[in-house]
């Protein structure tokens, strides 16, 4: 019996399945985002210490969560490419990189805008902030390395190796607030560190952002599969023309 990943190894089957899933995931993300924004602005209180500024948390935490989850997905896809040579693994890794970079950028930006009124500064070179900045540079490195190489096979393998080496940044980010003294608060624990009145909007927004990412990732993967088909057809057309030209010259 085929596993799900084996069934999805056929890009045509993936295109069929993703075409059916995409509208549902997008709609679920849109509805949850609307509910989350309502809860974040109208149904949750200001924090007793941070005041209204706490509302930045409802977008900062989901972006920060996605910045790490997306890198984890890229690392998993890279492993799938290097070890199992799964045909869609590289498509997944390539499609996820710009999205991960965008969410990491937003985590840094919203964190900075939250930090100024709370800490009195936009930026400090502490362990959490610096390690997330390194993660952002890693994303940019993955994108740059891939675009620097013309041979797609080599680019896929080298990018996968860099992604797997870079995965060591994830535990450093996660535990940086425990290992070192930082201005950043400890990791958010949904069960104890967040008041129930703020937990629900945060949870809804985190799920909404995650669905939003998966919808965008599916769309980006579909685009990448189409791009590879276009490239293959162009190569086929050029090869056909060359063959005809050679035959014509021989006659």
Partner 1 sequence: MDLGPHAAFIWISYAAVTVTVTGLILWLIADGRKQAADLDALERQGIKRRSAAGVK
| Residues of this chain that bind partner 1 (CB under 8 A) | 12, 15-16, 19, 41, 46, 51-53, 55-56, 59-60, 63, 98-99, 102, 105-106, 109-110, 113-114, 116-117, 212, 216, 219-220, 222-223, 226-227, 229-230, 232-234, 236-237, 240
Residue 201: CB minimum distance to partner 1, A: 13
**Alpha-carbon gap, residue 167 to 135, rounded angstroms:** 9
Q: Please identify, using beta-carbon distances, which residue of 12 and 191 lies nearer to partner 1.
A: 12
Helix axes 196-250, 57-84, angle to 10 degrees: 40
* Choice between 8 and 161, CB closer to partner 1: 8
120 within 8 A of 199, measured Cβ to Cβ: no
Helix (H, G, I), strand (E, B) or coil at 47: strand
Q: Residue 43 or residue 83: which is nearer to partner 1 going by CB?
A: 43
Least spacing, CB of residue 54 vs partner 1, in Å: 9
Structure tokens at 151: 């041979």
Q: Is the dihedral of CA 180, 64, 57, 187 positive or negative?
A: negative
Least distance (Å) from partner 1 to the CB of residue 91? 13
In angstroms, rounded to a whole number, what is the distance separating the alpha carbons of residues 58 and 54? Answer: 8
Instruction: Report, in Å, the least distance between residue 138 CB and partner 1.
Output: 19
In what helix (H) or strand (E) does residue 120 lie, and over which residues does it extend? none
Query: Which residue, 123 or 175, is less far from partner 1 as judged by CB?
Result: 123
């Amino acid at each position: 019996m085929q596993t799900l990943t084996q069934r999805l190894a056929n890009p045509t089957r993936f295109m069929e399945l993703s075409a059916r899933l995409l509208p549902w995931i997008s709609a679920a993300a849109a509805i949850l985002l609307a509910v989350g924004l309502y809860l974040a602005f109208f149904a949750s209180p200001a924090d007793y210490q941070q005041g209204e500024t706490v509302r930045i948390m409802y977008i900062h935490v989901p972006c920060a969560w996605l910045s790490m989850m997306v890198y984890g997905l890229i690392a998993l896809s890279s492993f799938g490419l290097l070890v199992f040579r799964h045909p869609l693994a590289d498509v997944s890794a390539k499609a996820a990189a710009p999205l991960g970079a965008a969410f990491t950028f937003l985590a840094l930006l919203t964190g900075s805008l939250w930090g100024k009124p709370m800490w009195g500064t936009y930026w400090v070179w502490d362990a959490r902030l610096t390690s997330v900045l390194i993660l952002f540079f890693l994303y940019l490195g993955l994108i740059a390395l891939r675009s620097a190489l013309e041979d797609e096979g080599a680019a896929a393998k080298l990018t996968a190796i860099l992604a797997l080496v870079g995965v060591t940044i994830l535990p450093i980010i996660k535990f940086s607030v425990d290992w070192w003294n930082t201005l950043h608060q400890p990791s958010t624990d949904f069960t104890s560190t967040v008041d129930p009145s703020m937990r629900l909007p945060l949870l809804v927004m985190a799920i909404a952002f995650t669905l939003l990412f998966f919808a965008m990732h599916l769309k980006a993967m579909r685009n990448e599969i189409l791009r590879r088909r276009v490239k293959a057809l162009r190569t086929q057309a050029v090869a056909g023309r060359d063959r005809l030209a050679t035959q014509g010259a021989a006659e």
